[in-house]
Structure 1
Amino acid sequence: MTPSRAEKSLTIVIPALNEQDKIADTIDGVLPLARELLDDFEIFLIDDGSTDATGAIMNEFAASDRRITVHHNAERRGVGAGFEYALSRAKFDAITLIPGDHAFQNEGIARMFKAVGAADMVITYRDNQSDRSVNRSIQSHSLRFVLNCMFGFWLSDYHSMIVYPVKWLRQIAVSQGRRLRLSDLRVDLAAPTRPHLCPGPREPERGVEGVIARAAAAHLFGAHRDHRLAAPPRSHPGCRSRSGSG
């Protein structure tokens, strides 16, 4: 008997501040991919107090598709606040954030969407960082090495796109009694030892990412090191498993 395929449903958060020249390109890239590659989705467009036409452009997209919701902040509140707004209203089990400045190219976003449902958490990484300056490369590699050693797992990138499990994020917010900060989430949720690795495309700008679909388990670190959540891993067609994190 062939095992049933996991449903590919996703809440997508796209925040932007004064990005009238790029927000349409971002949404025009994400929307067709979501329609093609996901079983169901919703998009939260977060206008973070923009003073240009960003909010008006978002409204136009929302008028054309009922799955798009626009939230306008009267003043700048930051990416984390927008993400938290969407998280509190998300109707699906998985959520991701895609910057509204068209930072990630469509081929990489497509690879991430294809991996939705392969595991409870999908972590992407950029594979064209060799064009960075020497100083930036040293700083980036050093910080990544320190964080990986501190928290006992091996991520290739701490600043790329992630598909988070909604239920775990909500537990972190409630149990810690604090507002979510995106910079914390990459170390609050740690992957185990058997990821499913999907190599990413080579892209000319910083929007390059492979996809690591992490096996479905996580440890909550920091103040909640004793709380553990787990679920059986699921395979993802076209991805290979490997014992290390790569």
Structure 2
Amino acid sequence: MTKINSSQSISIVVPALNEEEVVADIVSDIVAVLEDRFQDFEIILVNDGSTDRTGAIMNEIADGHPKVRVVHNERNQGLGSAYKLGIAQAKFEYLMLLCGDGGLPASSLPPIFDAIGSADIIAPYMVNLKRIKTPSRYVMSRSYTGLLNLLFRQNIKYYNGLAVHRTALLRQITISSTRFAFQGEVMTKLLKAGCSCVQIGVQGAENTNKSSALRLRNLANVGKTLLTLVWEIIRFDSSKISTKVPQ
């Protein structure tokens, strides 16, 4: 039996949009792993403008578990906005976002959680990335990672891997991105401020059958997002960030 960690605590943010078929099972799996490893934890469910029963199911989950609560967005706000909402409401020392579609399965969480305390940032990367993504999405993901590493002289394996951060550090930075780029923005700003990072290889479980990543409109959006991200990080004043947060 895994030893419960009584010295550290974590807030998990789980946004979902129209995931009525899977969200209950996904949250149940996350709770099981958390209960096996943490004495103090919370799950903040974000119903991000769903038009199906996702919100009602989330309410039922929260009614049945004292460490789960729900926030309902009338309109879809995006992952970045859900993440910022979680930062504002989090009660505990560490914070992590997990998508309500199960892209990072609960079975991959133990090695991530076990590494908490070894660095300011615990950054998971998908060891099976090439297998779980379509060729177009794989090329885009590797290109995005390579560009950020080149521009900011870093050696991160995967920027969209749902990292664990110290909540106190997250509250010292401004996050401008509301969509997928928020993770790259957060990671790069905190690394620039001198935060330590440990990278953990895990298995991903992502459904890629509906990918349209290389459509012209999406490429233009990614390009715009990347330029905005670069501008945000160029303007970022890392001297204002204190990495000496309470242990």
Instruction: Give TM-score scaled by structure 1 length.
Output: 0.75
Residue deviations 1:131-187 (CA, integer Å, cap 9, x gap): 2444443333222122112112110001111112212221113xx8x6766242132
CA RMSD of aligned residues (A): 2.8
Once the two structures are overlaid, the 10-residue window that deviates more, 142-151 or 131-140, is 131-140
Q: Which runs of 5+ in 1 are unaligned?
A: 208-219, 235-246
Q: Contact 1:94/1:165 (CA < 8 Å) preserved in 2?
A: yes
Structure 2 Cα separation of the partners of residues 225 and 58 of structure 1: 39
Structure 1 Cα separation of the partners of residues 159 and 177 of structure 2: 20
Once the two structures are overlaid, the 10-residue window that deviates more, 16-25 or 84-93, is 84-93
Aligned to 1:72: 72
Counterpart of 1:223 (choices 222, 232, 235) is: 235
Once the two structures are overlaid, the 10-residue window that deviates more, 77-86 or 15-24, is 77-86
Structure 1 Cα separation of the partners of residues 158 and 8 of structure 2: 24
Q: Contact 2:122/2:199 (CA < 8 Å) preserved in 1?
A: no
Residue deviations 1:43-73 (CA, integer Å, cap 9, x gap): 1000111111111111111111111110111
Number of matched residues? 212
Structure 2 Cα separation of the partners of residues 73 and 79 of structure 1: 12
Superposed counterparts of 1:79-90, under 5 Å: 79-90=79-90
Structure 1 Cα separation of the partners of residues 86 and 195 of structure 2: 30
Q: Which runs of 5+ in 2 are unaligned?
A: 208-231
Q: Contact 1:123/1:161 (CA < 8 Å) preserved in 2?
A: yes
Equivalent residue of 1:65, what SS?
A: coil
Q: Which amino acid aligns with 2:242?
A: L
Structure 1 Cα separation of the partners of residues 82 and 67 of structure 2: 17
Shift of 1:225: 3.7
Q: Is 1:159–2:160 an aligned residue pair?
A: yes
Equivalent residue of 1:142, what SS?
A: helix
Q: Is 1:33–2:45 an aligned residue pair?
A: no
Q: Contact 2:121/2:198 (CA < 8 Å) preserved in 1?
A: no
Structure 1 residues 140 and 69, CA, compared in 2 at 3 Å: closer, same or farther?
A: same
Structure 1 residues 7 and 82, CA, compared in 2 at 3 Å: closer, same or farther?
A: same
Equivalent residue of 1:7, what SS?
A: strand
Structure 1 residues 101 and 193, CA, compared in 2 at 3 Å: closer, same or farther?
A: closer
Aligned to 1:127: 127
Aligned to 1:240: none
Equivalent residue of 1:28, what SS?
A: helix
